Amino acid sequence: MGPFEIAAIAIIGGCAIEIYRTYVKRQNAKQSKTDPALREEVEALKERVATLEALVTDKSYQLREEFKRL
């Protein structure tokens, strides 16, 4: 391999890396647009799970479940 071939490979590799970086930046920009909606949904789901956990760990709920088993 001569010096010109090595230089050509380096230039092509550099261009490929820049193209990839641009692609990743665009993908991240698309995701950031949908993030607020997803965040709201995740927060709502977290609240629901917390409510369900509170209900299930409640002593009266556990007592009712034990009576149902009997």
Helix axes 3-57, 59-69, angle to 10 degrees: 80
Q: pLDDT (tens digit, 9 = 90+) per residue, 15-62?
A: 999 999 999 998 887 776 667 777 888 899 999 999 888 888 877 777
Q: Where are the domains of the chain?
A: 3-69
Tokens of 51: 């409510």
Separation of alpha carbons 34 and 30, rounded Å: 7
Question: Half-sphere exposure of residue 17, counting CA atoms within 13 Å on the CB side?
Answer: 6
Torsion sign, CA atoms 63, 48, 50, 31: positive
Separation of alpha carbons 8 and 4, rounded Å: 6
The pTM score is 0.44
